[in-house]
A and B are shown apart, each in its own frame.
Chain A
Amino acid sequence: MSDIITRYAKPLPEPSAVSAPFWEGLNAGELRLQRCATCSRYVFYPRSVCPHCLSDRLEWQTASGRGRLYSYTIVRRAMNPAFAADVPYVFAIVELKEGPRVTTNLINCAPEYARVDMPVKAAYDSVTSEIALLKFEPE
């Protein structure tokens, strides 16, 4: 099989020192969220300070991976050519059981079956040997 076909051409996250535990968690098939030790709220995306109280006492915890589809759209035209082969695909926001919302894709679901508020669970999509993206599928 040709290297050109198998190479992942879409934009990849570049984990930072702050976000590395999140991406490492996904690689291990686990959703990890920061939780503020001062105000006890969960935080996403990973930060060096809590956006609710400015505390820097953020601790990593394993999250349930469960949530609901907060909103979604079916992308029918790719703006980035790397996604052209995927259309139509579902670009979505999921509200996690723990509170924070995440931008994601709904997968393992025909786009026309997507519904706002449907229950979903995390699906870890290992797009390269280093990176797994956090996607969701119907519960």
Chain B
Amino acid sequence: MTLKRAAAITGIGEMKPTRSPDGKSTLGIWTDVARHAVLDAGLSIADIDGLLIGQPITEQAQMWPSILGEYLGVHPRYGNVVDLGGASAAGMVWRAAAAIESGLANAVLCVTGEASDVETFYAPRARRSAQQLPYREFEVPYGPMGVNSGYALIAARHMYEYGTTSRQLAKIAVDQRTNACANPDALFYGKPLTVDDVLASPLVVDPLHLLEIVRPCTGGAALVVVSPQLARESSNPPVWLLGAGESSRGMMLSQMDSITTSPITEAAPKAFAMAGVSHKDIDLISVYDCYTITVLVTLEDAGFCAKGKGGPFVEEHDFTWQGDMPLNTHGGQLSFGQPGLAGGMSHLTEAVRQLQHRASERQVADCEVAFVNGNGGIMSEQVSLVLGIE
């Protein structure tokens, strides 16, 4: 594969440099140059499906592609911060080309810029934060409970639209706990749970109970992705990436068309189509579970059941490692624990273990194809993967 002639630069936008911000914000500058570049290229904002951003030096925030995408009305299927210092802009060009070559995006907007002057650039970084970010201005003053309250809003709305019940949501936590009880590494190993236990745990953010909410902890995870040649030389059975799809939307629930439907509806079909497999081919579902509602919405939006039918679907299926539909066999983050970003990676390490048939006592029989989903923000960033062995 080559990137030669895979992509071209067709539009630019540039701000005349000034010595000081003069009231401009970094986000405002990005918006201005981005708008000019899109117009210069003769495109509409709807044509833009990729977003690469250079990590600003004097602004501290996470999820810049979501922040800028939301502001501009870009709906990225490919988004990243590129953090290569002075080489970042050059780095963006090939990343964009690679994304285009591989079919993940058609038009990638690459953005850099910063509202700073000599003083702010060299000032201590600690106190300085991007106060003018929209969620700080329009959400934080109303007292959200971290992201807990966001997922609670999704759950409450899902119950209103589809009649989903707390009992149905609780069953997800219970099945995953059963799995954790077959995983000595899980934080809640040896502590089985019933639906009544979940419902009897305190409400934290209605309708979510304490035992429906992930438990932060300390830990870590890593994995190595290798070329086909190295894979063939490996002593472990290679776990092939068969399909991938990515889709994201903004940071704030108030900005989303629907809070009960996630961009998994775009990410998952792409992953399935690339892999050439259907849902019935999936032997293991390993999906992000910061809350019970996350799993239910993921099952619906990934197409394992019809939209709105997640509640009955949960009741009809056994998600334990011995069940008809093994899901989060390591216990999920709800029962395994959430060691920061390694919580998300736990769904991958478990899928690899199961596909390589080294999941010991909780091994899923004949496990050959897995569906993995990663979720960021409040169901805004979504990456779906299909993994398989030969």
Question: Which of B25, B73, B145 is A75 in contact with, Cβ under 8 Å?
Answer: B145
B-side binding surface: helix, strand, loop or mixed? helix
A78 — which chain B residues lie within 8 A by C-beta?
A: 143, 145
- Tell me which residues from 81 to 117 in chain A have a Cβ below 8 Å from any Cβ of chain B: 83, 86, 89, 91-93, 100-105, 111, 116-117
Contact A74 B153 (CB under 8 A): no
Name the residue on B nearest A86 (C-beta): B143
A117 — which chain B residues lie within 8 A by C-beta?
A: 160
A74 — which chain B residues lie within 8 A by C-beta?
A: 203, 205-206
Q: Say if the beta carbon of B200 comes within 8 Å of chain A.
A: no
Contact A51 B72 (CB under 8 A): yes
- Chain A 41-52 against B: per-residue CB contact (8 Å), 1 yes, 0 no? 000110111111
Name the residue on A nearest B156 (C-beta): A71
Interface range on chain B: under 10, 10 to 19, 20 to 34, or 35 or more?
35 or more
Given contacts A91-B143, A91-B149, contact A19 B73 (CB under 8 A): no
Name the residue on B nearest A102 (C-beta): B254
Q: Say if the beta carbon of B259 comes within 8 Å of chain A.
A: yes
A50 — which chain B residues lie within 8 A by C-beta?
A: 73
- Chain A 7-32 against B: per-residue CB contact (8 Å), 1 yes, 0 no? 00011111111110000000000000
B35 — which chain A residues lie within 8 A by C-beta?
A: 49, 54, 56
Given contacts A73-B153, A76-B202, A76-B205, contact A54 B73 (CB under 8 A): yes
Name the residue on B nearest A83 (C-beta): B143
Q: Say if the beta carbon of B94 comes within 8 Å of chain A.
A: no
How many angstroms between the C-alpha atoms of A91 and B140 in the bound complex?
11
Q: Say if the beta carbon of B376 comes within 8 Å of chain A.
A: no
Contact A73 B205 (CB under 8 A): yes
How many angstroms between the C-alpha atoms of A137 and B157 in the bound complex?
19
How many angstroms between the C-alpha atoms of A83 and B144 in the bound complex?
10
Question: Which of B23, B138, B206, B253 is A17 in contact with, Cβ under 8 Å?
Answer: B23
Q: Say if the beta carbon of B103 comes within 8 Å of chain A.
A: no
How many angstroms between the C-alpha atoms of A116 and B38 in the bound complex?
40
B153 — which chain A residues lie within 8 A by C-beta?
A: 71-73, 91-93
B144 — which chain A residues lie within 8 A by C-beta?
A: 75, 79, 91, 103
With most chain A CB atoms within 10 A of its CB, the pick from B70, B156, B255 is B156
Which of the 9-residue segments B128-136, B231-239, B312-320, B364-372 touches chain A?
B128-136
Contact B154 A71 (CB under 8 A): yes
Contact A51 B149 (CB under 8 A): no
Question: Which of A71, A79, A80, A83 is B157 in contact with, Cβ under 8 Å?
Answer: A71
B193 — which chain A residues lie within 8 A by C-beta?
A: none
Contact B202 A54 (CB under 8 A): no
Given contacts A91-B142, A91-B144, A116-B160, contact A14 B132 (CB under 8 A): yes
A94 to chain B, nearest CB (A): 9
Q: Say if the beta carbon of B185 comes within 8 Å of chain A.
A: no
How many angstroms between the C-alpha atoms of A48 and B25 in the bound complex?
12
How many angstroms between the C-alpha atoms of A108 and B146 in the bound complex?
24
Contact A71 B131 (CB under 8 A): no
Question: Which of A44, A71, A75 is B143 in contact with, Cβ under 8 Å?
Answer: A75
A77 — which chain B residues lie within 8 A by C-beta?
A: 145, 204-205
How many angstroms between the C-alpha atoms of A49 and B204 in the bound complex?
38
B146 — which chain A residues lie within 8 A by C-beta?
A: 79
A19 — which chain B residues lie within 8 A by C-beta?
A: 137
Contact A48 B204 (CB under 8 A): no
How many angstroms between the C-alpha atoms of A54 and B143 in the bound complex?
31
How many angstroms between the C-alpha atoms of A102 and B139 in the bound complex?
8
Q: Say if the beta carbon of A63 comes within 8 Å of chain B.
A: no
Contact A93 B254 (CB under 8 A): yes
A92 — which chain B residues lie within 8 A by C-beta?
A: 153
Contact A13 B204 (CB under 8 A): no
Q: Say if the beta carbon of B28 comes within 8 Å of chain A.
A: yes
How many angstroms between the C-alpha atoms of A44 and B252 in the bound complex?
11
Q: Say if the beta carbon of A37 comes within 8 Å of chain B.
A: no
How many angstroms between the C-alpha atoms of A56 and B36 in the bound complex?
12
B45 — which chain A residues lie within 8 A by C-beta?
A: 53-54
A67 to chain B, nearest CB (A): 12
Given contacts A76-B202, A86-B143, contact A13 B73 (CB under 8 A): no
Contact B205 A13 (CB under 8 A): no
How many angstroms between the C-alpha atoms of A61 and B319 in the bound complex?
52
How many angstroms between the C-alpha atoms of A102 and B145 in the bound complex?
17
23 contacts between A and B (CB under 8 A): A11-B140, A17-B23, A18-B28, A45-B137, A45-B138, A49-B71, A51-B73, A54-B35, A54-B38, A56-B35, A70-B259, A71-B160, A73-B153, A75-B205, A76-B206, A78-B145, A79-B144, A79-B145, A79-B148, A80-B143, A91-B143, A91-B153, A102-B138
Given A51-B71, A51-B73, A73-B153, 14 extra CB contacts under 8 A? A13-B136, A14-B132, A16-B132, A50-B73, A53-B73, A54-B45, A71-B153, A71-B156, A77-B145, A79-B144, A80-B143, A91-B142, A93-B259, A103-B144
